Structure 1
Amino acid sequence: MRQSVFESAELSVIKVAGERDDVVFVTFEPLNPSRTDDREGFGEAFFARRGFTAYHFLAHTNSWYQLDEMPEALARVRADIAPGTRVIGYGTSMGSYAAIRFSQALALDTVIAFSPQASVDPQLVRWETRWAPEGARLMWDRNAPRRETKIYALFDPLNLDRRHISRLRREVELESVHTYFSGHGSIGYVLECGLLESVILDVVGNRFNGAELEAKLWRQRASTPTYAKIRARKRTGLIRRFRYYCIERLLDRRLGVPAPTAVSAPSVTLLPERQSV
């Protein structure tokens, strides 16, 4: 059953209680042009089916959670979580940004961060021109991440996201997992490979292995629309084409994968419909 934990003109926080009381998730939406009032939280259906209690932050604008009411909303969520419970943050892009920036307020034990962004401050990331946040407020942009939090950062190092990772590393330790040729859509790419469910459950079970995941993703890349789209962009121009051909052959050797193989389409949906990444 859905329960409102916090409500304001710009933010809703929904709790969906589950049977498990050892682990809870706190999720943050990514930037999304379609924000209907009846939309699900990020990964809501999956966590509910698996019996995990989850708190879903639903912003009514694409303001990157630069909202005056965030401290109160975060405090209500933290107070509602029983002491001793393991708390895992989950998000992609803008959602990963929020999970990392608010990891201290929520006392997160772990964060699963797809394509995390370090900042939306043009003074700090002058090279970042992909986003146009609604509003100019940056009140939480410099929130220090919780140093005790284990952060798994899944991203494409051949994408501009690598610069966000470099900046985040100045503030906190990250365990990087490379999703080569996924572009900014790392979470969709992992889902297309049929591995998103296992990523989450392996983190919960303390058996997550980033190196093994990288090899699996590389082996299965040819089955995904994301790889096909991103790889096609790298084939323009002779020098560019040769460069990325060499990168792929190097990755074949490094990851011990002789050739990509196809996999069947995943049957479990971990993203809300029309979820933007």
Structure 2
Amino acid sequence: MRQAIFESDNLQVVKVPGRPGGPVFVTFEPMLNVREPARHGFGEAFFDKRGHTAYHVMCRANDWYQYPEMQAAVAQIRADIPQATRVVAYGSSMGGYAALRFSSWLGADTVIALSPQASIDPARAGWEKRWAPDNPALVWDRLAPRREATCYVVYDPYNTDRRHVELLRREVAIVPLYSYFSDHHVTEYVQESGLLEALILGAARGDFDAPTWQAELWRRRSAISYYRNLRPRKCRGLLRRLRYGLIERVLDLRYMRFASPYRLPAISPEPVARGE
């Protein structure tokens, strides 16, 4: 039964119990234009359908979780999770930022961060002009990600997000996964490819084959609308056309060696991203 285990003026943490055993997921929602009071948590329907226990952290506004009660909220989640349970922190964009920043308090074994930000501090990321928090406080901006966790970071290396990843690499070892030509729409890009489930559940189990998954995502790019829409923009001008044409040729050669009898199954895209 869905239940709120923590509530304040700024936060609500909802627990959706699943089958006993197996990994437990803690999700953080991304920036939202509208926050309906009765909304589901990030990926809630996905985890519930598959019988996985999940805790969904939902915030009052696009404040990047810079609330003083975050420590108490995460402590409540951690106290509710049985010892020796694998914990996976999961989020996209602002939620990916939170999944990384609060991974130590959670004792997370795995972090899955899709196009995350490393910092909202202008002193550290003054070049970031795309978003600004509704609340400019920087309560938890320098919390270090858990070094013992396996951190999967999915991003477009030809987008401003790469600068955030460069900052993150100074704090923690990451496993980079590239959604080439997705821009910041990484969650939707990977979801549309049909490979988001393989990433989430494989990483949670600890048997995720990153190189093969990466090669498969590249092979499926032409079926992804975000790739089809963004790629033509890279062809404007002769030099850009030559540059990105060469890049794609190099990537084709790089991932060709993974064209083996093993294939990840085609997975029908589901509303994993927002749990609708």
SS in 2 for 1:228: helix
TM-fit CA distance, 1:273:
6.3
Aligned to 2:216: 216
Counterparts of 1:1-277 in structure 2, within 5 Å, are 1-256=1-256, 266-272=268-274
Please give the alpha-carbon distance, in whole angstroms, between the structure 2 residues aligned to 1:258 and 1:235: 27
Aligned to 2:262: none
Given that residues 87 and 110 in structure 2 are in contact (C-alpha distance below 8 angstroms), is that contact kept between their aligned partners in structure 1?
Answer: yes
Please give the alpha-carbon distance, in whole angstroms, between the structure 2 residues aligned to 1:267 and 1:174: 26
Q: Deviations over 1:130-174 (max 9, x none)?
A: 112101100100001111111011111111111111111111110
Q: TM-score, normalised by structure 1?
A: 0.93
Please give the alpha-carbon distance, in whole angstroms, between the structure 1 residues aligned to 2:254 and 2:269: 30
Please give the alpha-carbon distance, in whole angstroms, between the structure 2 residues aligned to 1:195 and 1:233: 25
TM-fit CA distance, 1:180:
0.8
Given that residues 46 and 275 in structure 2 are in contact (C-alpha distance below 8 angstroms), is that contact kept between their aligned partners in structure 1?
Answer: no
Gaps of at least 5 residues in structure 2 are: 260-264
Q: Note closer, same or farther for the CA distance 1:144–1:243 as it changes in structure 2 (3 Å cut).
A: same
TM-fit CA distance, 1:116:
1.6
**Identical-pair percentage:** 50
Given that residues 195 and 266 in structure 2 are in contact (C-alpha distance below 8 angstroms), is that contact kept between their aligned partners in structure 1?
Answer: no
Aligned Cα root-mean-square deviation (Å): 1.8
TM-fit CA distance, 1:258:
11
Q: Note closer, same or farther for the CA distance 1:223–1:264 as it changes in structure 2 (3 Å cut).
A: farther
Given that residues 192 and 265 in structure 1 are in contact (C-alpha distance below 8 angstroms), is that contact kept between their aligned partners in structure 2?
Answer: no
Given that residues 19 and 52 in structure 2 are in contact (C-alpha distance below 8 angstroms), is that contact kept between their aligned partners in structure 1?
Answer: yes
Q: TM-score, normalised by structure 2?
A: 0.94
Please give the alpha-carbon distance, in whole angstroms, between the structure 2 residues aligned to 1:120 and 1:127: 10
Please give the alpha-carbon distance, in whole angstroms, between the structure 1 residues aligned to 2:229 and 2:269: 22
TM-fit CA distance, 1:264:
7.4
TM-fit CA distance, 1:65:
0.3
Query: Residue 178 of structure 1 aligns to which amino acid in structure 2?
Result: Y
